[in-house]
Each structure stands twice: as C-alpha cells, then as structure tokens.
Structure 1
Amino acid sequence: MIRSTLHVGPRAKAIGQARRTTGSRGFASSLVRHNYDSTIKNLKIGSHTRVMFQGLTGKQATANAKESLQWGTNIVGGVRPGFEGEHLGLPVLPTVRRAMEVLKPDATGIYVAAHQAAAAIEEAIEAEVPLVVAVAEHIPLHDMIRIHAMLKTQTKSRLVGANSPGIISATGKCRIGFQPLPCFIPGKVGIVARSGTLSYETAGSTLRSGLGQSICIGVGGDILPGTSLRDGLRVLVEDGDTEAIALVGEIGGEAEIDAADFIKDYRTRTEKPKPIAAIIGGIEAVPGRIMGHAGAFALPGEPSAQDKIKALQAANCTIVNHPSRFGPVLKSMLEGSAPSAYGVASPPVGAGFQRRRIHTAIRRPNVSSAGNGTQQRRSIYLTQSTAFDLLRQHGLPVADSTSTPDEGCLLAVTLNRSTRSPCIVASTSTNGGARKLKRFDYDYTVGAEDVDIGAIAQQLELDASDEGIISSLRTIVTGLVTLFAEKEAFLLETQLIASKSSAFSIAIATARFGFDDAAHRSGNRQADIQALRDTSVEDPAEIEVEKHGIVYVKLPNGSGEGEIANIGTLVNGAGLAMNTVDALAHAGGRAANFLDTGGKATSETVKKSFEVILKDPRVKCVFVNIFGGLTLGDMIARGIIMAFRDLNMSVPVVVRIRGSNEKEGQQIIAESGLPLFAFDDFDEAAGKAIELANAAS
C-alpha cells in the first residue's frame, strides 16, 4: 500500500547520490559538471574583452552597439547569416565560425528574436565562443534544456541568460547587454542579480552612495539560466576591483540556497571576506503563480522566499528590503560599521523578521497541490479533467471517480534547476514538505530508458521486488517522461494511489500539468496544447491585458482586520514589481495587484495598466514605481499624464521615477496640475500611497 510516511534507507541514499553524480554524457556526471564549471573564468570581462554581436545589423542591436561603442566597449564586429560586409564601420561575417577565425572575439552578444535565439546560441557554442550572452525573453524552455545538454559536454563556452539584461564591467567599460549606462560608473561594488530592474536600482543606489560598480552579472529570469548566482559570486569574490557584493534573488529555484552555501564556505576559508548584502523578491507572491519572470515560481520541493532569506542570514549576509538601501548599507559595511536602519536586517542569525522590519510570513516549503488549476501568461495550466483526457490518450491509468486519494503520494516530472536537468520528483506525501521529497535526474536525450524505477519505488515505499508494482510504476513514469518532452511541459505533477482491484496496481488520482507557452508563441509549436487552454477558469482582467504584454496578478486581502489590499501598483520589470509589493507590505500597506508593464513601458501600456488596475474596486490609490532603463523617465511621465486625462481618473496617483531622465520625469509630474504626487525616495512615496489609500477606504 502507498503510505504517507518516509524512511529513506542507505540504499535509497546511495542510489539518489549516484543518480546525481554519474550517468550519460548529457546530464549527470560530476566530471561533466566540472567541465562546464571551468568556464566561469570567462565571466571576467573588461577592457581586454573583444565583443561581437550576432544580429548586429538589426535595429535594436545597432542602437545598442552605438551606445556601447561610445561608452568604450571593444566591439570588433558581428554576424549576419548569409551576409558579408560592413556595418557601423565594423566587419560583418556570415557565420559565427567564420567570425571566430577573423574577429577572434572573447564574447558574443546575441541580439536576435526568441524564435532564432536557440539556434544562435548553439552556433556560438559549436564555434567555441568563450562567453555567450543571450538577452532574448521567451526562448522555448525545451530548447534551453537541449542547450544545457550541449554546455555540459564542453569546456570552452559559458552562457549568460537567457532572458538576461547581460553583463557589464563598469571598471573595464565593457557592456554586453542593455543595462542603462547612466547608472554605471567605475567603482567597488559587484552585483549578481536575477532581476534586471532590481540590478539597475542597485547600481543606481551604489552610484548615489559614491561607491560605483565593478562587474554586474545579470543571470536572468529564465527557468534554466546558463549562469547561476553562485557562479557570479565565484567571480566577484576573486575580482580585485570588487570590494563589496550585492546579491539580488527572487522566488523560484534553489539558486539563493546554493549561493548561501557558497558564501558560508567563502567566509570560512577567507581571512577578510568581502561584505555581502542581499535582497529576495517575491516575499508576498501568491503561491503557485508565476510572477512575471519565466522562472519566478516554485516547483515541488523548492524553497520559499522566507527559506532563502533565512539561508542567506545564516551565511552572515545583511538583508535589505529595497534595492535603494544597497548603497548606504554596503558603504557602512566597508567602513567597518554594522548597518542598522529601517528595512535592513543584519546578522546575527536568529533575529526574527517582523512586520515593520521585513515582513516574511512563515511558509512551508512548497510541495504544490496537484489540484490547483491556476493559469498564467507565461505558461499553460490544464484543468484536471483536460489533463486526465491527455493521460488517457497516452495510455496512462487514471483512477475512477470513486477513488479517494487519502494516502496518495507525489510523482512529478519537472526540472532540477540546480543541475539544469529534467528530473522525476517522488515523495510519499503530497504535502509533507521538502524533507520527504527526492529528485531523480535523467538524460533528456535518452528519456526514461535510464531511469531507475526501483529507486523511485523505494522512495515511494513500494515493494521494489514486486514485478507487478515495478511494471505499473514504469508505465506511469515512462508515459509522463515522454509526455513531458513531446508536449514541452515544465511540470507534470500527479498524485498516485493504489487501485482497488485484486491485483496491485497504481493509478493517477489528480493531475496538475503546466506547459511552456513560449513553445507556441516563439517556436510556433504545440498548437494542440495551446488549444486546450480553458479561459473560462481564468481572471478576465488578466486575459484582457495579456495581449499588450502586461502581466497582471490580482492579490488577496490580508487575513488581519483592516488589511484590505487597497493600493494598485504599476511597475516596469518583474523583479521590481515583486519588490514593490513586498516593500509596501513592509511599510504597513497592502498591494491589490502585481503588475509588470514589461521592460519597455509605453504610453499605451501605461494606459492599459491603469484601466485594469482600476477595475478592482478595492483600489483607492495607484502607486507607479518606474525605473528608467530602456524607457526614459520623462517619456513615462508623459504617458502617465496622458492616461490620467484620457481615463478621467479620480483615484490619486503616487509616482516614483528613478533612472534615466528621472529629474525630467519628476518635474513633468510635479508641474502637471493633476492629483499626481511625485517622489524620489521610495519610503516617502510608499508612505504617501498608504496614507492616501487608507484615507479613502
């Protein structure tokens, strides 16, 4: 019988360890992992770095190259398939391999659309370009899985991204990406970040504090980035120009836990370790939702934001609740004093996080419920009945409706983000926490052929010597692994129960299936899965703004008396949007929504954002928090004024604009004659928004 308790014996531990450290060429061997690790040194860019662009002649690449050249980046040429000539006074070659021979670049920036990006990355890896920077968002997940299979078999190329702002050396005047250059000056602080907008805010804070930056590594918001936070830390702790480090993390995956482990080890072996401060976005995120970034959600068994904060505290990191605090905090740490201020939580370990410090409600590690049918823009979740139909089409056993899954267990096919591999997740309990859960990596190129069914059975406390049990379990595992690859899923989560027939067999009692929307949107694949989307179970407001590139998630009220979510938020950038919700909660307010306009907020997207925010009757004030990067602050300000007038808005709006052209934007807001309140400081802006919202409630 399938039980809900777990006793992992020595054999299970040995099998699990073997599965992580041995295996085929694509995914498992410790030697292979070490080979890719040897490319971390390629992240150390500077004035010596010879940069080329794949897609140099494109509009965005051309504009970016002009800026970077003027700033001082040593761009030596580019690639355009089937073309050989000149652009911006630089040579253009028809293939990456030819460019490697002629230009001898140290790095390539890939500036092509998402549907072309995977092929461009593969071409760069095959040509052995030392550093490959992929900025495109919405590259299909399974294309990235195959790219990771390539990366693990070689020792020449290091990937940054995808969905990354890139990497920039302020000391070496080398930019490979689209970071806002006015935020960067040569200095002391190294930054490693999952969020682009939060990294820009961090850079701006260190700029205003007179510290400047050394290297900023944007690992990106994808589910499987080519470079991790830990990889970035390895570069920064050894970099001679870096005297202090800012780490920007968020929900999803275990990168921050891995980073905390590295920091602990670094402090143990280093006489004078560099001060490190960190922030985690998504403390107030809705469990089970994807918060803007493709990777900003928790898969079964992954830690919560609270778990990550605790791990970093235990590693002696100072935690900040807003990126504007990085500059003052790191400056005081460099001067030898312990930072102590509102929104700052310093070691020692064990200090509790309370409201008015950093609000982090205690949450169990996420082993998600298979019955949640939540839909999100960057993924397709199927209703359970639709998932059952798909299972039956693939010949997999589904429990009859009279079954009661009281003692079921968890079996899922998903991703192990730490090893950048697909994996099978098994647990004797569907909600017992990460301690009862085990991952079994497998080779994507082989599928279920090399999966140790006996080890999975033992993890589920089944009799691995019973051929009937093993056969039944193998049918389900093989079918799910096949379905995962064929339909480009990111999560196939099931609950298994024992059948009531006389012969012991296993059936699937519940199913929660998530598929990669980018496979259809960018790759023009999986139209049949796209057609299974049931919009009737989704929030109409979220669907309405989806086509405008806006990610909108309605947030619940608090559980306490008077904790009505009454502040609408409008933010450009997923990381900054998550942090805005978190920081408002820390200040005593409550956001009614998460809203990311995307990196290129326009007057039209601003107007559409206001429209959807104001459909929520709880909203009594709108808080606009914009960091001018790709979009200038004055352009955003004009868009806000235009939207305010066009919509005849009566709700007050608090606006905080930072970054490029921030002063111009603030001045436009202040002189508009409208009930708009412009602020420079986040705390002042948040306080005003809370005051106005509560006064109107």
Structure 2
Amino acid sequence: MIRRQVMRGHPVHCTTSMRKYILGKSALSFSTTARRRGYEDTIGNLRIGKDTRVIFQGFTGKQATANAKESIEWGTNIVGGVTPGKNGEHLGRPVLPTVREAMEKLKPDATGIYVAAHQAPAAIEEAIEAEVPLIVAVAEHIPIHDILRIHSILKTQSKSRLVGANAPGIISAIGKCRIGFQPLPCFIPGRIGIVAKSGTLSYEAVASTTRAGLGQSLCIGMGGDVLAGTNFVDALKIFENDDDTEGIVLIGEIGGSAEMDAAEWISEYRKRCSNPKPISAIIGGINCAPGRVMGHAGAFALPGEPDALAKIKRLEQAGVTMVNHPTKFGEAMKTLFGQSGRASSGTSTTGSSQRRGMHTLRGVRPTLQSHGSKSILQTQKRNLYIREDLALDLLRERGINASEYSGKGRRRMLAVAVDRKSLSPCIIASPATDPENPHAEAKKFPFDYRQGFNASLVPAIAEHLQLGSSSQESLPKLINGLVDLYMKKEAFLLETLFVERLGELKVVGANFGFDDAAFRSTKRQEDIHAFRRIEDEHPQEVEAEKDGIVYIKLAGNGNIGTLVNGAGLAMNTVDALADAGGKAANFLDTGGKATSETVKKSFQVILQDERVKVIFVNIFGGLTLGDMIANGVLLAFKELDMRLPVVVRIRGTNEEKGQRIIAESGLPLHAFDDFEEAAAKAIELANRS
C-alpha cells in the first residue's frame, strides 16, 4: 500500500537524510548500523490509509457491528473479522474463528479489538501471536498487570504495534480509515497531525482545526491508561516524515513523563531541521486535586513524576506553542503556519493570545502529613488505597518488621511501582524523605514483568539508599517481600518509609494502592478489595461511583459546579475556568457514553455541595449526543426542583439539536456554543450570588 507523496506549501529541509517507510508491514529505518530488531521497528505500522486492510476482533458483537457499519460507510477497508467459534459472514464480510486464520486468509494490516475489558488481554495476545502489524485496543479498565505482561511480550518482537488501551484509536482523515470510535462528523481531510491522551480533548482539537479550514491528516489516540502501547514520541516520529502532516497538535495531561520525553525529542528535531513543522500543545490537570486520580486510569503522579506545570514549562522551552483550551488550536496553528512561511488559509491571531498564562502558579504535589506521632504519605486515590495499618499488617504477614514511626531514625523511601517509561515494574528508592519534597532524590530500577526482580540490582539500590553496611543484608528481604506482594495482589504502587535499626530495616510508613480494574473487570483480588473502607471516603464520591460517574470534590472556596463528559475535558474545564478567573468546586466526568439519566444523577451529586452557586455543563459530543445531554438537563430541572442557574455549552455530535432544546425549553438556562463566552457567563452568575 503506497500512499501519495505530495508536498503542500514549503518543503521541510532537514539536516539529516529523510527516512523512508516500508509501508504497512515494517517500521522506520533509523540507522544503517546492523542491530537487533525490536518493538521500535513497528512504529511505521501506524501509517494507515485507504488501502489499509482492517479486521475486527469481536466482529459480530453489538458495538463492533455498529462501529463497523459507520466505518465501512465512511470508507474504511474492513475486510472481515474474528469471533471465536464462528465461521460465516457478517456485514457481507467473512467471519473466522481465530486471528491466525484471519491473517492467513484475509491478510489484514490492522485489527480493532472490540471486546470487554476482561477479554481484551487474551485478544491482544492472540493478535501479537498472529503478528498483526497494528493492534488497536479501545477497552477501558484492562487490569494493569495484564497490560504489564503484554508490554513484556511486545518488547520481545518486531512485528506488532499496539495503540491503546483505553484509547479512542487511530484515524486517517485523508485515507478515510478509522480504527476506533472517533466521531466522524468532526473530521475533514487536511494538514494537522494530532496525538492525544484524552479522547474528548482530541475531538475538540479536531473540531477546532476543521472550523479553521485546516483539517487533519492522521490522529493517534495515545489513550489515558497507565501504560500506553504508543506514546507521543512514536507519533512525532511518524508526523515528522509524513508529507500530509504539516503541523502537529499534542494533547497531554498529568501522569507519567511522556510529555517530557516529547519535549526532549522536539528540541532535537528543531535543531536538526531548518524549517520544522509547527507544534502546539495543551496539558490538562494544572488545577487537579493533589494525590487524586483524575478520571483516566493513568492521570495521577507516581513518585518522582512531573506535574502539569513542569510539563508545560518544558514544552515551551522546546519551542512548542501552548494553548489553554482545545478550541484555540485552529487559530494557533494558522498563526504558526504564517510565522513559519508555510501556506495557510484564513486570518490569523497573534501568537501571544494563544499562549498559556499559567506558568507562575505553584504546582501542588503530594506531601507527608503529620498525624500525631506518625507520618503517612498522603494517598492518591485510585480504588483501592488501603489504610496504613492494614498495609503494615500485610507486610508483617510476610515477615517484614513494620510498625508506626516513633520519631527516631532517618527515614528513607522504597517502593515498587509502574515505570511508565520502560513499560515495566520498577523499584523506586530515595535516600532521604523530606516532608517538603519526599521524592526529590528518587531513582528507578526497572525489571521485566515476566522474569521478575533481578537480584543483581540490589547493590545499586543499597548504594543509592546510602545504607550502612550492617543494614544492606536485610534489604533483599524487604525488596522481595514488596515485589511478591506487588505481583501476587496486583498492586500498582507499594510505597514504604523505613529506618535502619540495629542492623535491620524497619518499615514505619506505608502507602499501598491496588488495581481496581483487576477486581471490577475480573473479580480478582477479592481479599484485598475487602479492605476498602467506604466510611473513609467522601459520601458524594461514593454515590456518584454507583452510576459510573467520577466525581471529586475540590478543596477551597470554589463556587462553580462542573458537569463534563470525558476526563481530559473535565480537567481542562477546571483549568480554563481558573484561567478566566473562576473557581471550580468539583471535577465531574460523566463518562464518554453519558445518558440523560447520568446527567440527572450528576446534577444530584453537584447540588449536595452548598458552595455551588451555578452549574456549568460543558459537553463535547463524541459518543455522547448533544440532544441527549440537553434532555438530561431538562430532566434534572423537572425532577430535582432546580433553583440554581445553569450554563450549558454543547458542541460536537447533534450540537444544534441540543442547543435548540435548551433554547426552547423556557427554563432559566443559558446556552452557548463558545467555551469562553459560556465560562464568562458562569463566572458572572457565580459571583453575583
């Protein structure tokens, strides 16, 4: 499959020779030096187009069927699919029982996996074994340890590339190839390559570049999972050498360091290219709740990871133009095209009006909090974090000396966690725990998930911890105990504070987080999840959780209740309100498939916060329909005896229907399609009360 090589505007002159793709089956050629092939050699498999042959796993299922019909009508070359135990035909295309048989008979370039989270790991592994070049996993709530195992497998091969999980997928607007669930009406063929952690923010960016007349070339959903199969740098390598891509949009958020890696790559790219492609970006989560998981499974900071402000600063240093809302991407890119001498249509705005003005804000990081005579790490909420006393009990059951801190002895930090850079588990060690910056000297020691902890790492860990010679002998026992607990009970973070005492290591603080997806999707680890204590949690958050709503009550004097679909958009709504001078009272993500009933339930939760003076509904319709949201707002007014003013901003799928329903309701609702106008109205109403 050969894509056309047509250059529009001014050519890019790079100081290194242009790399070539062998399309569809192999990766970018980065060196003439002989080396062992690996996962990086699959990056080129991300180049999809009109000739890309696509299969679906779970092809005959309800969601896959609906998605396939839409995609086929749009132009995607879906050649068949797989449903275990079935042979036959579906949607006029063959159905086969295994991926291996589909590879032999249908010769696909890509597979979309449309099965439930508990079935997805096996489906991904089957696709890897069959050597499908591109594997797109859209499912949310795949257990972290299943993904760790999959990444361990991916590293050993050079045939298959994974996009996802928990991602909207990948789509070529030029080639009319969609492998995912992106809202097709937003896309037009064009010039902008987009890579994003957030689905809803990427849809907003697509709509903005469409309204600006720029359109899109290739859009890659990195996804909001803890571990992504394809990251920002992988996408940037594709965009650099894609003649259809003339500008790049990057959408990041809190969690991990992928944005920092992207900034480093961009810095090098701008040095080696005389006319580099312009890049604009946004980072969500500046005003996140410290230590909380902000909707996406991966939207939280592990020890030593940067916050949103650090990511913004580093991207700006790399020459990236930052915006504070995705609706600004279209005008920002037109401005950058004009500044770079590349062809652009339409009027441009000034670059300064598109820059983020948040860099002087102080980033808030998790800190040690004192509780009488003991200190514990402030918890990051990703069900399930267990009480410290229960965590210490788990250690004692494994023969590890553990008790409350007496106030004596130098505390050091030792943890087992996910290393998002190496896509593997790791030991994290810090020689000193400063209450103001507990992870300042943290260092990671990754190890392979399937092979387990490598004992040869112990001396380096002991040296970094600055342990006395008499205590070094007891370090392996602590590490092995933590690793055993981490692997067997599917933790994502086991963080301990310990002191040296009489030649031994004694744990005096613990912050243990276990994977909720392992329990919710597969009912594994029931004994660990029995440790959950509902009474320790915020009652409104627990109430919202029952309806699939992620609600976090923000600290302070926020007076604007927010109701948003999508975690990334919800984070950005809180940030953008702060930029405009407002104060959000909460983070609320209705989920990507919000219904009228979900919207009503969201209103119920928000109304229990007495600080709230106005409710701001910010919806971008992807899977969520604008008219459905509007009907949910009306339902809330009817059944909840609403007395607070409500500002509604609806864009995306069925936006005109939704706006019309709001406008014609006769209720005290304020309807907008522009975010800044809606935010200004919400702030005005909140301050008036």
Q: Same fold (TM over 0.5)?
A: yes
What does 1:183-262 correspond to in 2, within 5 Å? 183-262=186-265
The 3-state SS of whatever aligns with 1:336 is helix
Task: Choose the corresponding residue for 1:396, options 400, 419, 431.
Answer: 400
* Cα 1:232/1:572, change in 2 over 3 Å: same
CA distance in 2, matches of 1:693, 1:423: 46
CA distance in 1, matches of 2:378, 2:394: 15
Task: Choose the corresponding residue for 1:594, options 587, 602, 605.
Answer: 587
What does 1:49-198 correspond to in 2, within 5 Å? 49-198=52-201
CA offset at residue 366 of structure 1?
A: 6.0
Structure 2, unaligned runs of 5 or more: 1-33, 341-347, 370-374
What does 1:402-413 correspond to in 2, within 5 Å? 403-404=406-407, 407-413=410-416
CA offset at residue 434 of structure 1?
A: 5.2
Greater mean alpha carbon deviation, residues 625-634 or residues 582-591: 625-634
Which letter does structure 2 place at the counterpart of 1:62? T
Which letter does structure 1 place at the counterpart of 2:358? I
What does 1:277-316 correspond to in 2, within 5 Å? 277-316=280-319
How many residues are aligned here?
643
The 3-state SS of whatever aligns with 1:192 is strand
Deviations 1:224-246 (A, max 9, x none): 01011111111111111001010
* Cα 1:451/1:183, change in 2 over 3 Å: farther
CA distance in 2, matches of 1:273, 1:107: 30
Which letter does structure 1 place at the counterpart of 2:363? R
CA offset at residue 339 of structure 1?
A: 5.4
CA distance in 2, matches of 1:405, 1:493: 20
Do the aligned residues in 2 keep the contact of 1:365 with 1:433 (CA within 8 Å)? Answer: no
Q: What is residue 621 of structure 1 aligned with on the other side?
A: 614
Deviations 1:566-589 (A, max 9, x none): 000000000000000000000000
CA distance in 1, matches of 2:408, 2:361: 30
Task: Choose the corresponding residue for 1:460, options 459, 465, 486.
Answer: 465
CA distance in 2, matches of 1:342, 1:312: 16
Which letter does structure 1 place at the counterpart of 2:84? P
Do the aligned residues in 2 keep the contact of 1:68 with 1:174 (CA within 8 Å)? Answer: yes
CA offset at residue 658 of structure 1?
A: 0.5
CA offset at residue 340 of structure 1?
A: 3.1
Do the aligned residues in 2 keep the contact of 1:633 with 1:664 (CA within 8 Å)? Answer: yes
Q: What is residue 387 of structure 2 aligned with on the other side?
A: 383
CA distance in 2, matches of 1:343, 1:121: 44
Q: What is residue 361 of structure 1 aligned with on the other side?
A: 361
Q: Name the Cα RMSD after superposition.
A: 1.8
* Cα 1:516/1:160, change in 2 over 3 Å: same
CA distance in 2, matches of 1:254, 1:537: 31
Do the aligned residues in 2 keep the contact of 1:302 with 1:365 (CA within 8 Å)? Answer: no
CA distance in 2, matches of 1:690, 1:33: 58
The 3-state SS of whatever aligns with 2:193 is strand
Q: What is residue 472 of structure 1 aligned with on the other side?
A: 474
CA distance in 2, matches of 1:622, 1:242: 39
Deviations 1:47-76 (A, max 9, x none): 121000000100010000000000000000
Structure 1, unaligned runs of 5 or more: 1-30, 346-352, 558-563
Q: What is residue 9 of structure 1 aligned with on the other side?
A: none
* Cα 1:358/1:34, change in 2 over 3 Å: farther
Which letter does structure 2 place at the counterpart of 1:513? F
Q: Normalising by the residue count of structure 1, what TM-score does the alignment of the two structures yield?
A: 0.90
* Cα 1:490/1:186, change in 2 over 3 Å: same
Do the aligned residues in 1 keep the contact of 2:559 with 2:686 (CA within 8 Å)? Answer: yes
CA distance in 2, matches of 1:119, 1:88: 25
CA distance in 1, matches of 2:367, 2:231: 23
Which letter does structure 2 place at the counterpart of 1:340? T
* Cα 1:452/1:367, change in 2 over 3 Å: farther
Do the aligned residues in 1 keep the contact of 2:368 with 2:438 (CA within 8 Å)? Answer: no
Deviations 1:3-31 (A, max 9, x none): xxxxxxxxxxxxxxxxxxxxxxxxxxxx9
* Cα 1:339/1:313, change in 2 over 3 Å: farther
Higher RCO (Cα < 8 Å, 6 or more apart): 1
CA offset at residue 394 of structure 1?
A: 1.4
Deviations 1:343-394 (A, max 9, x none): 622xxxxxxx6xxx33662227767778246474x42001101111111111
CA distance in 2, matches of 1:460, 1:150: 31
Which letter does structure 1 place at the counterpart of 2:466? E
Which letter does structure 1 place at the counterpart of 2:113? I
CA offset at residue 449 of structure 1?
A: 4.0
Q: What is residue 546 of structure 2 aligned with on the other side?
A: 547
Q: Normalising by the residue count of structure 2, what TM-score does the alignment of the two structures yield?
A: 0.91
Do the aligned residues in 1 keep the contact of 2:550 with 2:589 (CA within 8 Å)? Answer: yes
CA distance in 2, matches of 1:456, 1:694: 54
Identity %: 62
What does 1:668-679 correspond to in 2, within 5 Å? 668-679=661-672
Whether 2:491 is the aligned partner of 1:492: answer no
Do the aligned residues in 1 keep the contact of 2:413 with 2:495 (CA within 8 Å)? Answer: yes
Q: What is residue 422 of structure 1 aligned with on the other side?
A: 425
Q: What is residue 575 of structure 1 aligned with on the other side?
A: 568
